Amino acid sequence: MLFISIDFNLYSLQSILEVQNQSVVVIKIELVFIPSPGVGHIRSTTALAKLLVDNDDRLSVTLIVIPSQFSDHASSSVYTKSEDRLRYCLIPAVDQDPNQTYISYIESKKPYVRAAVSELATDVSTRSDSRLAGIVVDMFCTSMLDVADELNLPTYIVYTSNASYLGVQFHVQSLYEEKKLDVSELRDSNVKFDVPTLTRQFPANCLPSVMLTKKWFPYVLGRATSFRKTKGILVNLVAELEPQALKFFSGGNGNTNIPPVYTVGPIMDFKTNGEDEKRMEILRWLREQPTKSVVFLCFGSMGGFTDEQTREIAVALERSGHRFLWSLRRASPVVEDMIGSPPGEVTNLEEVLPKGFLDRTVDTGKIISWAPQVAVLESPAIGAFVTHCGWNSILESLWFGVPMAAWPIFGEQQFNAYQMVVKLGLAAEVKKDYRRDFLVGEPEIVTAEEIERGIKCAMEQDSKMRKIVTEMKDKLHVALLDGGSSKKFVQDVVDNVPQECGPIKIKRSNN
């Protein structure tokens, strides 16, 4: 037998090459993905892993699933059915502590992740035709980069938000290190500042709360530092959505010490989770509604409201005159350093809603708890989407050409809302600087007038916004076709990962 080193992407990995009548066995590449616990993150990360696997048959992926902080089972147990080259490894749900911060909870799972990756590395090392090429971690799992360092493996980041916000993270770090500007000091100001990934000045009051508090600001700086140490950042984005951000990351503004950014979106999960009766009932109701007549309200896995705020929403819906599908859940408690357990169901609708509301809207509205969001947005009956502006939800809405009304809650959602409303014109505003998290105490009440205004604007049939949304929908679909921007970036990832793990040796034999 003879072993030779070659440049990995010189060969098509779907073929067996003949060299002097000797077959060349192409080495298979293994990647480990570590999504953070949370339905939105695991779904988008799983979809990305599947996209990479489907793009090249040399590649296999193992996803290490961290269980939910608030239950005794994996938060994504539906994603545990392994396929040929897409496998799942579930971290045991032991020592769950719902009082930990989200970040410290992930950190506490590092020993289990280390053990799982080490076992996989040992297994791969026993196979002559395979190579463990790297670890791909979620943007909230940067503590897991230590595991990759211990095993001398290249690391990549899955960034489940947009490139403009990624640019904000790097810019905030640079402002602090180069100009000693601490943006947490801008919390109660009306200051606007330049951001290289945006075309206009950005208001500080739309920064996420973790950037506007002294306690958490060091974490923001540390995460940006961790990002810079990786081999690449995979962003769930279509390049055509944020050209200014891509210009910055391509080096057009002289930025240094930032790894390559790959826009591989839109990464979306179309998994239906079965044909359960609740889902079927919702879709049956939608099929009975006229085209573009229904406003859909849904606020993500952690989105819920107080009784007072719920009544304001109800008043707004009734005044708007539009049909509605409303995913209504009760607000989770806000405690120190975190939002508490996920929102619960509202079991006493008559007590929470305005008197007679259910009777007056029985023919025009439907209130639900859980929503099959993708299937709902796909329905021709949906005319607009009142959303918390989670990045997955934004992409899903744009994919189906549904205008949005922006009502952010926490995380980077205020930034996303600003992007959609002010910069891109893809959403109407409910209240783009609203926030409900552990740093603001009890939030202000968004009035029925504000909500009604946002709904009516988003539901307007011949608006400029609806036209822009339709144009963006087409761009998202084209990006994933052969020759599209995202398709090219996906191929770049597949080509570059093996090179980062060093020379690949190809086994040649006379068999």
Active site residues: 41, 138
- Report the C-alpha gap between 220 and 139 in whole angstroms: 11
| Six-digit token string for 297 | 């309200």
For the chain, the straight-line distance linking the first and the last C-alpha, in angstroms and rounded, comes to: 10
Peptide bond into 266 cis (omega under 30): yes
Helix orientation angle between 39-55 and 391-399, rounded to the nearest 10 degrees: 60
Any idea how long the chain is? 511
Pairing of β 86-90 and β 404-406: unpaired
| Six-digit token string for 123 | 């297994």
Q: Name every residue whose Cβ is closer than 8 Å to that of residue 181 and which is 6 or more positions away in sequence.
A: 175
| Six-digit token string for 406 | 């922006």
- Report the C-alpha gap between 74 and 66 in whole angstroms: 6
- Report the C-alpha gap between 265 and 419 in whole angstroms: 17
**Which residues pair with residue 384 across a beta bridge?**
295
| Strands (DSSP E) found in 189-291 | 192-193, 202-203, 232-235, 261-263
CA angle 474–327–235, rounded 5-degree value? 40
Instruction: List Cα–Cα distances, 243 to 197, 395, 419, in angstroms.
Output: 9, 16, 13
Backbone angles phi, psi at 304, to 5 degrees: -150, 165
CB 404 within 8 A of CB 387: yes
Write the single-letter amino acid at 491. Q
SS3 400: coil
